């Protein structure tokens, strides 16, 4: 068994940073394989120091098909590095089979989890915050700057934390990683993100409708209440039918602008 001290935390972090270029050499045949090899290559150089034949064989292994969610790819990187270290070279065919099978087995689940969490959860939430700030600041230049900063922080903070947590966890305790992923209740997380989006949307809408200089209703009175109730039920229906929170918010903006022009 290989000595794990050859790979240090700084080397892992450096490889994780290189994952930012995972899709720089994306191709239609093997998708992200070149970017993944670029990320793991410095690890292979350490693992197979003094063993050029072993290093070239490892490079060849990681030139095969690879495709998963870009922010969850760090988990695959950590696991592959650990397997390259742990599996002996006495049975090279077994080592190659084990690594290939593990890689193929984790790419799909990681992609599914990452797509649901980021593309359907965190990204729309960040967009919702940004759009709300722009809306509340009257589309001013300062509002655009504030919205950009807030959206980038909301989107990138969990991205960086998850990326490096998975990288370190998958390398040092890779057997526990799969148990951890199974225990995480991603459905509950998604429901919480959607509920947060609903609440934020309601807050922005309420603030907007109560600002005298930006009113979108007619002359006050019962008609205001009818429009607000109709808007509430429309948004509730859209959320129950799993429409995108960001699309709902943009729809509210468009309808509000149309009503303001009509009135």
User: What ranges do the domains of the chain cover?
Assistant: 1-184, 186-263
What is the pTM for the complete model shown? Answer: 0.70
What are 65-109's pLDDT values in tens digits? 999 988 888 989 989 998 888 888 777 888 888 888 888 888 888
Reading the block at residue 198, the tokens are 């609903």
Structure tokens at 23: 């899709």
Helix (H, G, I), strand (E, B) or coil at 31: strand
Residue 111: which pLDDT band, with cuts at 50, 70 and 90? confident
The b/e string for 201-224 (b: 16+ C-beta within 10 A; e otherwise) is beebbeebbeeeeebbbeeeeeee
Q: How far from 15 is each of 152, 173, 188, 259, 262, CA to CA, in Å? A: 23, 17, 31, 53, 57
Q: Say yes or no to pLDDT of 197 above 90.
A: no
In this predicted structure, what is the pLDDT of residue 3?
A: 45
CA distance 203 to 144: 19
- pLDDT tens for 236-259 read 777 677 777 667 767 777 777 776
Closest-CA residue to 80 (of 32, 23, 114, 25):
32
């Amino acid at each position: 068994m290989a000595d794990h001290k050859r790979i240090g935390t700084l080397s892992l972090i450096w490889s994780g940073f290189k994952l930012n270029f995972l899709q720089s050499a994306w191709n239609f045949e093997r998708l992200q394989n070149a970017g993944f090899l670029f990320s793991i290559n410095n690890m292979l150089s350490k693992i197979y120091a003094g063993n050029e034949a072993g290093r070239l064989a490892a490079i060849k292994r990681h030139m095969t098909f690879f495709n998963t969610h870009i922010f969850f790819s760090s988990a695959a990187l950590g696991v592959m590095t650990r397997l390259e270290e742990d599996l002996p070279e006495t049975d090279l065919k077994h080592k190659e089979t084990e690594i290939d099978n593990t890689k193929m087995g984790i790419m799909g689940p990681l992609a599914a989890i990452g797509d649901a969490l980021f593309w359907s959860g965190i990204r729309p939430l960040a967009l919702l915050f940004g759009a709300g700030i722009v809306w509340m600041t009257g589309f001013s230049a300062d509002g655009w700057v504030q919205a950009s900063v807030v959206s980038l922080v909301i989107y990138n903070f969990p991205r960086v934390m998850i990326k490096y947590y998975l990288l370190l966890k998958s390398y040092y305790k890779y057997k526990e990683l799969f148990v951890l992923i199974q225990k995480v209740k991603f459905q509950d997380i998604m429901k919480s993100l959607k509920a947060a989006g609903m609440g934020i949307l309601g807050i922005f809408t309420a603030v907007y409708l109560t600002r005298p200089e930006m009113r979108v209703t007619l002359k006050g009175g019962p008609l205001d209440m009818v429009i607000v109730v109709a808007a509430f039920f429309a948004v509730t229906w859209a959320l129950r039918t799993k429409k995108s929170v960001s699309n709902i918010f943009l729809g509210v903006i468009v309808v509000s602008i149309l009503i303001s022009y009509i009135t």
